[in-house]
Amino acid sequence: MPVGIARPSCIDCIRLHGGIKPAEKNPSNKRLHGLNRLAEAGPLHGMRNRGSMRGAVVGLLAPLALLSACYSGLSGSPGAGAGDEGGTGGESGSDSGDGGVAAGCETPSVGLTDLRRFTGAQYENTVRDLLGYTGEAAIGFTPDERVGPFHSNVGAPVSELQVEQYMDAAEEIAAWSIEDLGGLLPCDPLAMGEDACATQFIAEFGPRAYRRPLDAAELDGLAQVYAEGKAQGGFADGIRLVVQASLQSPWFLYHMEFGANGVNDGEAIALGDYELASRMSYFLWNSMPDDSLFAAAAAGELGDKDALAAQVDRLLADPRARETISQFHLQWFGVDEIEGLEKNPEVFPDFSPALATAMRAETAAFAAHVVLDGDGMIDSLFTADFAMTDSPELLALYGVTLPSGHVAGDPVPLPPGERMGVLTQASVLAEHAHANQTSPVHRGKMVRENLLCQPLPPPPPGVDNVPPSPDPDATSRERFEQHRADPSCAACHEMIDPIGFAFEHYDGIGKWRDLEAGAPVDASGALTVTDVDGPIDGVLELSTKLTQSDEVKRCVTRQWFRFAMGRTESDDDLCTNESLETSFVESGGDIQVLIRDLVLSDAFRHRRGEVSAITRAQEEQR
């Protein structure tokens, strides 16, 4: 195990030799139970009668699960440095961009760092980059949790079902991996000898799977797993079992971050270089570091901000960053699951699964194009006058045709006066509508919460929130006006509906309309409780107003923070967020500048855990 694992903060839950499990000491800690299940299950699904092999693997995984259980989750305490041994992970002191150090921000201050488990996408991307596996490894996994609109498995404990899912996936991937044993191994077992080749494989594969160097004891543990597998089924089975065991280790499945020095005193701790490399790669690629990033971590280069900024630029230039940029925007606008959307076929006969897929693809391509190929400005997200689709169904919905000489993947001009920017894309309009009609409430709520960061309370108990039935003789505005007439609903709907009514030129699947119920569409509305208050008429005016709002830019920085960190910001992140907001506003809303500043920030380069009860007791005894 890495040096320093059994720190005082973990004495009560790590008993590597005594076999005392955290769950026995603290039965209320559901997170510990879940991690124990990962360890106790072992990677032997489909081989459960091979008792000696099971024992060897459990001996490897159980201490790892106990260690990770000590990590600070929502209520836990962190263990000590298990990542980079001796790395700095960034210099101390607050990063304040070009604006200088704000008062009280001279030393790093960051919010509590929760233990996060891989999302489904991170699992699939990591086994792709680790092993070359391109199947849908996480297709049957339990759905990811969310932090706001963003995927982040940070709260719930691991269930028995999830343990089985990880076991099944590891078994399938490991079996696939040895189908081309020559491609998997870095050596020739016939020329070198099987055991020597296995040793070399473990020495190279283990650090990549765990995303950090392994010490002699850990390498020996994997070697024991190999030996058991070889004894039961031969050389290939031994290699397969090493892969299978590694894919079920908490070191693989979790973002393990203990800090460079492993001290747990409630203060901000600089991440180790390997931890920082992983945090950056999972932010920008949603996958593991590549060889260049591992080499930079090994050389201790990531403690230098210039070197770190250069790595950000390199990662953003990689094709893998396009998917991450797309995913941020799909999740931010709440359209990442639009392919499961259902519409009433009698009301919207043009809607189909193929159209939903095209809607999602357009928003993904549009976001990546604006941020990485275009000017990268937040204004362009809201005001660009083109679509990014070649789908005949979606183009028909927009009422446009491909221009002469069009090259696949190039922008397609949109009808002026009808559409511009992401808020007029069919994905956003269809997702934030009902199955049989539009929804001023859903659309207005999305703008208020996701773009202005103004969370709204849930409806009062007992309130009937079923939308009014469509009426061919009444417009949506007329039918939804009752919300503001009801005193129990009026306060919130005064914040929501005037924004939502601006979307009324678009029906429930995003098609433009001039008439509703035989009357001209009234898309007038208003922005209130913002820094750009005033009347609006239609989404084009709304989008233009939003580009003029510093409040929107501040919200954008917070949404990127949540996406990158997998958690919401706290008061302890105030210095980081104020610096990010100032820099983003001063840049005019340059998203790449924001991403780079975020990676260089204190919050990104540090972690902080709660002070454990044992540490507090020791302090009191001094």
Q: Is the pLDDT of residue 532 over 50?
A: yes
The conformation of residue 450, written as its DSSP 8-state character, comes to I
Task: Report DSSP state, residue 290.
Answer: -
What value does the mean pLDDT take over residues 49-57? 46
Residue with tokens 């919207």: 348
Residues pairing with 606 in the sheet: 270
Q: How far apart are the first and last CA of the chain?
A: 30
Is 80 exceeded by the pLDDT of residue 484?
Answer: no
For residue 39, pLDDT over 90 is answered with: no
The amino acid present at 213, given as its one-letter code, is P
Residues 34-43: what's their mean pLDDT? 46
pLDDT tens per residue, range 210-266: 999 999 999 999 999 999 999 999 999 999 999 999 999 999 999 999 887 766 667
Asked if residues 117 and 327 have their Cβ atoms less than 8 Å apart, the reply is no
Beta bridge partners of 146: 151
Q: Report residue 135: phi and psi, to 5°.
A: -75, 175
Task: Using the CB atoms, write b or e for 185-194: b if 16+ within 10 Å.
Answer: bebebeeeeb
Nearest to 432 by CA among 413, 454, 448: 448
The fraction of the chain above a pLDDT of 90, given in percent, is 72
Whose tokens are 């233009």? That residue is: 544
Flag the least confident range among 410-414, 446-450, 616-620: 616-620
Q: In the prediction, which pLDDT does 41 show?
A: 45
The continuous run of DSSP H or E covering 173 comes out as: helix 160-177
127-139 residue pLDDT tens:
999 999 999 999 9
- Residue of 609 and 141 predicted with greater confidence: 141
Q: Which residue has the higher pLDDT, 44 or 158?
A: 158
Percent of the chain with pLDDT over 70: 80
Using CA of residue 253, residue 254, residue 257, residue 262, what is the dihedral sign? negative
Own/partner long-range contacts of 24-33 (Cβ < 8 Å, ≥24 apart):
29/69, 29/75, 29/76, 30/157, 31/69, 31/73, 31/74, 31/75, 31/76, 31/115, 31/157, 31/158, 32/69, 32/76, 33/157
String of DSSP letters for 110-142 = ------EEPPHHHHHHHHHHHH---S-TTTTSP
| Segments of 220-292 assigned E as strands | 254-255, 269-270
Sign, CA dihedral 327-330-334-337, equals negative
DSSP string, 563-622: HHHSS---GGGHHHHHHHHHHHHHTTSBHHHHHHHHHHSHHHHEE--PPPHHHHHHHHH-
- Reported as half-sphere exposure (CB side, CA atoms, 13 A), residue 490 has a value of 5
In sequence order, what E strands does 309-439 have? 386-387, 412-413
pLDDT > 60? residue 621: no
Q: How confident is the model at residue 461 (pLDDT cuts 50, 70, 90)?
A: confident
Residue 438 vs residue 25, higher pLDDT: 438
Give yes or no for a contact between 384 and 368, defined as CB atoms under 8 angstroms apart.
no
CA distance 92 to 573: 15
Q: What is the mean pLDDT of residues 338-344?
A: 98
Mean pLDDT, range 137-152, rounded to an integer: 96
Distance separating alpha carbons of residues 321 and 319, to the nearest angstrom: 5
Query: Tokens 């927009």 correspond to what residue?
Result: 398
Mean pLDDT, the chain, as a whole number? 85
How much is the average pLDDT of 48-77? 42
Place of tokens 């049989």: 436
What separation in angstroms does the CA of 4 have from each of 48, 90, 403, 486, 606? 34, 21, 64, 62, 19
Place of tokens 């020791």: 618
- Which of the four pLDDT bands, split at 50, 70 and 90, describes residue 30? very low
Residue whose C-alpha is closest to residue 596's, from 574, 564, 554 = 564
The confidence band for 60, taking pLDDT boundaries of 50, 70 and 90, is low
Is the confidence at residue 4, as pLDDT, over 70? no
Mean pLDDT of 359-370: 98
Q: What are the distances in angstroms from CA 89 to CA 8, 174, 194, 250, 472? A: 23, 33, 38, 22, 63
Range in 15-24, 59-68, 146-155, 450-459 with the lowest mean pLDDT: 15-24
Higher pLDDT, 155 or 434: 434
Residues whose CB falls within 8 Å of the CB of residue 396, separated by 6 or more in sequence, listed in order: 350
Write out the H or E segment, with its range, that includes residue 147.
strand 146-147
Beta bridge partners of 526: 535
Rounded distance between C-alpha atoms, residue 530 and residue 546, angstroms: 10
Tell me the DSSP string of 486-507.
SHHHHHHHHHHHHHHGGGTTB-
Q: Which amino acid is at 144?
A: D
When pLDDT is averaged across residues 278-299 and rounded to a whole number, the result is 98
Is 348:508 a contact under the CB 8 Å cutoff? yes
* pLDDT greater than 50 at residue 276: yes
